[in-house]
Structure 1
Amino acid sequence: MKYLLLGAAAVALAAGASVAETDPAAKPTYGSYGFDSAGMDKSVKPGDDFYDYANGAWAKNTPIPADKSNYGAFNTLDDLSRERTKAILDAAQADPNSKIGAAYASYLDAATVEKKGLTPVKPWLAKIKAVKDKAAYAKLAAEAARAGIDGPFGFYVNQDDKDPETYILVLHQSGLGLPDRDFYLEPDAKMAAIRTAYVAHLEKMLTLAGEADAKARAAALMAFETEVAKVHWTQVDSRDADKTYNKMTLADLRKAAPGFDFAAYFAANKLAPKDLLVSQPSAVTGEAALIAKAPIGVLKDALLLRTLHGFADTLPDAIANENFAFYGTTLSGTPEREARWKRAVDFLKSSMGEEVGKAYVAQYFPPETKAAMDQLVRNVIAAMGRRIDGLTWMSDPAKARAHKKLAAFTPKIGYPDKWRDYTGLTMKRDDLFGNALRSNQYEFDYQVGKLGKPIYRWEWGMTPMEINAYANFGMVEIVFPAAILQPPFFDPHADPAVNYGGIGAVIGHELSHHFDDQGAKYDETGKLNQWWSDRDVANFKALTDKLVKQYDAYEPFPGAHVKGAFTLGENIGDLAGVAVALDAYHASLGGKPAPVIDGTTGDERFFLGWAQVWRRNYREPNLRQRLVTDPHSPSQYRADTVRNFDQWYSAFKPEAGGKIYLAPQDRVKIW
Structure 2
Amino acid sequence: MDVLERRKACCRPPVSARKHLRPLLLAAAIAFAPMIWCQEIASPASPEGLASSISAAADSAHAFDFSELDSTISACRDLNGFVNAKWFATHPIPPDQSHWSVGTALAERSLAIQRNIVESAAANAGRVTASSIEQKIGWLYRSGMDQAARDKAGFDPIKPLLADIASLRVRSDISGYIRAHYLEGGMIFLFGANADAKDASRQIAVAQQGGLGLPTPAYYAEDRYTDLRRAYSEHIARTLALTGITTADAEEQASDVLALETALARASLTPLQLRDPTRQYHFVTVLEASKITPHFDWSAFFTAQHATVNQGFSIAQPGFFAQFDHLLATAPMKQWRAYFRFHLIETASPYLSTAFEDNHFDFRGRVLAGQPQQQPRWRRMLDNINALMGMALGKLYIQQNFSPDTKQQAEQLATEIGAALRQHIEQADWMSAVTKKKALDKWSKVLLKIGYPDDAHWRNWDDLQLTPDRYYGNVMAINLFNYQYEMAKIGKKTDRNEWIVTPQRIDAFYEASTNAVNIPAGFLQPPYFYPGSDDAINFGAIGSFIGHEFTHAFDDEGSRFDGDGNLTDWWTPQDRQAFTARTARLVEQASAFAPIKDKPDLHVDGALTLGENMADLGGVSIAYDALLTALEKSPGGAMAIMSGYTPEQRFFMAWARNWRNNIRDRTREMALHSDPHAPPAFRANAPASNMTAFSTAFQCKVGDQMVRSGDQQVKIW
Determine whether 1:608 maps to 2:637. no
User: Which residue of structure 2 aligns with residue 599 of structure 1?
Assistant: 644
CA distance in 1, matches of 2:220, 2:189: 18
Query: Where does 1:385-464 land on structure 2 (aligned, <5 Å)?
Result: 385-417=422-454, 418-464=457-503
Displacement of 1:453 in angstroms is: 1.9
Provide the residue aligned with 2:592 in structure 1.
553
Most deviating of 214-223 and 610-619: 214-223
Q: TM-score, normalised by structure 1?
A: 0.93
What pairs up with 1:223-622 in 2 under 5 angstroms? 223-271=259-307, 273=309, 274-417=311-454, 418-492=457-531, 494-557=533-596, 558-590=600-632, 595-622=640-667
- 1:270-291 CA distance string (max 9 Å, x none): 3362311122111221232133
Give the Å deviation of 1:32: 6.9
The amino acid that maps onto 1:587 is T
Distance 2:601 2:469 in 1: 50
The partner residue of 1:215 within 245, 251, 254 is 251
Out of 64, 69, 74, the residue aligned to residue 40 of structure 1 is: 69
Q: In 1, distance between residues paired with 2:459 and 2:548?
A: 28
Shift in Å at residue 480 of structure 1? 0.9
Kept in 2: contact 1:547–1:568 (CA 8 A): yes
**CA 1:517–1:554: 2 relative to 1, 3 Å:** same
SS of structure 2 residue aligned to 1:268: helix
Of stretches 642-651 and 551-560 in structure 1, the one that deviates more from structure 2 is 551-560
Q: Residues 153-204 of structure 1, C-alpha deviation per residue, up to 9 Å, x if partnerless?
A: 111110001111111111111111101101112222xx22211110110010
1:202 to 2:236 alignment: yes
Equivalents in 1 of 2:684, 2:699: separation in Å?
Answer: 17
Superimposed CA distance per residue, residues 273-318 of structure 1 (whole angstroms, 9 cap, x where no aligned partner): 2311122111221232133211122222222222222221211111
Aligned to 1:4: none
Asked whether the 8 Å contact 1:259–1:290 carries over to 2, the reply is no
**CA-CA distance at 1:246 after TM superposition:** 1.2
Cα displacement (A) at 1:488: 1.2
Which residue in 2 is equivalent to 1:186?
A: 222
Instruction: Provide the rounded CA distance (Å) in 2 between the counterparts of 1:473 and 1:353.
Output: 22
> Which residue identity lines up with residue 114 of structure 1 in the other structure?
D
Q: Aligned-residue CA RMSD in angstroms?
A: 1.7
Aligned pairs for 1:19-168 (under 5 A) are: 29-30=58-59, 33-95=62-124, 96=126, 97=130, 98-147=135-184, 149=185, 151-168=187-204
Moved more, 444-453 or 653-662: 653-662
- Kindly indicate whether the alpha-carbon contact (under 8 Å) linking 1:139 and 1:268 is maintained by their aligned counterparts in 2: no
Match of 2:709 among 648, 652, 663: 663
Q: Of the candidates 174, 190, 212, which is equivalent to residue 210 of structure 2?
A: 174
**Alpha-carbon distance between aligned partners in 2 of 1:430 and 1:667, rounded to the nearest angstrom:** 60
Matched length: 642
Deviations 1:97-119 (A, max 9, x none): 41111111111111111111111
- The runs of 5 or more residues in structure 2 that have no matched partner are 1-55
Kindly state the Cα deviation for residue 150 of structure 1 after the two structures are TM-superposed.
5.7
Quick one: distance in 2 between partners of 1:275 and 1:549?
A: 41
Tell me if structure 2 keeps the 8 A contact 1:470–1:510: yes
Q: Which runs of 4+ in 1 moved over 4 A?
A: 591-594
CA contact (8 A) 1:173 1:284 kept: yes
- Is the contact made by 2:57 and 2:65 (CA closer than 8 Å) also made in structure 1? no
1:509–1:163 Cα change, 3 Å: same
Amino acid across the alignment from 1:664: G
* TM-score (structure 2 length as normaliser): 0.87
Q: CA deviation at 1:540?
A: 0.4
Report if aligned partners of 2:76, 2:700 keep a CA contact under 8 Å in 1.
yes
Separation of aligned partners in 2, 1:444 and 1:412: 24
Distance in 2, Cα, partners of 1:135 & 1:37: 67
Gaps in structure 1 of 5+ consecutive residues? 1-26
Change (3 A) 1:37 1:300: farther
Q: Give the 3-state SS of the residue equivalent to 2:624 in structure 1.
A: helix
Paired residue secondary structure (2:279): coil
Alpha-carbon shift at residue 436 of structure 1 (Å) = 0.7
- Specify the SS of the correspondent of 2:678: coil
AA of the residue aligned to 1:185: A
After superposition, the Cα gap between the structure-2 partners of 1:556 and 1:142, relative to the gap in structure 1 and judged at 3 Å, is farther
* In structure 1, distance between residues paired with 2:296 and 2:339: 16
CA distance in structure 1 between the aligned counterparts of 2:105 and 2:164, rounded to whole angstroms: 43
**Cα separation, 1, equivalents of 2:222 and 2:694:** 39
Instruction: Say which is worse superposed, 370-379 or 221-230, in terms of deviation.
Output: 221-230
